[in-house]
Copies of this chain bind each other. A is one copy, B any other.
């Protein structure tokens, strides 16, 4: 069962985070507590699981690259904290709990986000924690990941998303936002697993195609759930994107067409994985699980 695998992996990631994130009583406590608050706010740990599953698909080391996978999750967490800030999305709730700045104040939320990004790079470059992985592979993976979440990746997507609020936007611009805001990190997470496994360039191409499909599909599915889901399931105000007049796929294409588009992306993504044998089964099942959430 894919849900068993996802639960087991989530537990593994959570345990590792408890081990490698600074203890919550470290000084300055306000900062560290604010970091802990958002890191342990109930995320599904999807991105680190994708790192690990991609390593499995390419027959690489899985447990040994956990510190890198944690870095990916911390980067994702920091972008959420900053995205929720009053100057950006001004959200009060995230996963059913007060957002970081509502709980700790704006200054601590900004600094906790900054610190989580820095700490992510600290973990991802910790050769003592990843002794078995060649330094060239680590450096390449960190470099790629930084590119994916930088001004031409995640952060670019966040800015364009903000600028587009309340405006009529077309499909190409919506796709730009989704690919950058969400897709780049998912693609890089999957590629990182391959790079850290020192897979072949052919394997890496396959992971790239799979990652691009899954990344865009994931955001479309998230948009759909934001309309049809309820607060208990998605953990934030449902219809919050509509409230803030954000551009979404359902708003642009309608629910049914959006579902179709997501399903096609997932199907094509899984198609690429034919290149791998059963080692990629978890990647395949994760992709199917994504799309099953919209039924």
Residues of A within 8 A of B (CB): 22, 26-28, 30-32, 35, 78-79, 82, 85, 87-88, 105-108, 110-111, 113-115, 117-119, 121-122, 125-127, 135-136, 138-140, 142-143, 146-147, 149-152, 155-156, 158-160, 162-163
Chain A to chain B: the 5 pairs with minimum beta-carbon distance, closest first: A87-B106, A118-B150, A115-B151, A122-B146, A125-B143
A204 to B291, CA, bound (A): 54
Q: Contact between A143 and B159 (Cβ–Cβ < 8 Å)?
A: no
A149 to B118, CA, bound (A): 7
Q: Contact between B35 and A151 (Cβ–Cβ < 8 Å)?
A: yes
A79 to B28, CA, bound (A): 18
A152 to chain B, nearest CB (A): 7
Q: Contact between B163 and A28 (Cβ–Cβ < 8 Å)?
A: yes
Q: In the complex, which of the residues B106, B118, B125 contacts A117, with contact meaning CB atoms closer than 8 Å? A: B118
A177 to chain B, nearest CB (A): 10
Residue of B whose beta carbon sits closest to that of A106: B87
Neighbouring B residues of A143 by C-beta, 8 Å = 122, 125-127
Q: In the complex, which of the residues B26, B31, B106 contacts A155, with contact meaning CB atoms closer than 8 Å? A: B31
Q: Contact between A162 and B88 (Cβ–Cβ < 8 Å)?
A: no
Q: In the complex, which of the residues B31, B82, B151, B163 contacts A22, with contact meaning CB atoms closer than 8 Å? A: B151
A117 to B121, CA, bound (A): 10
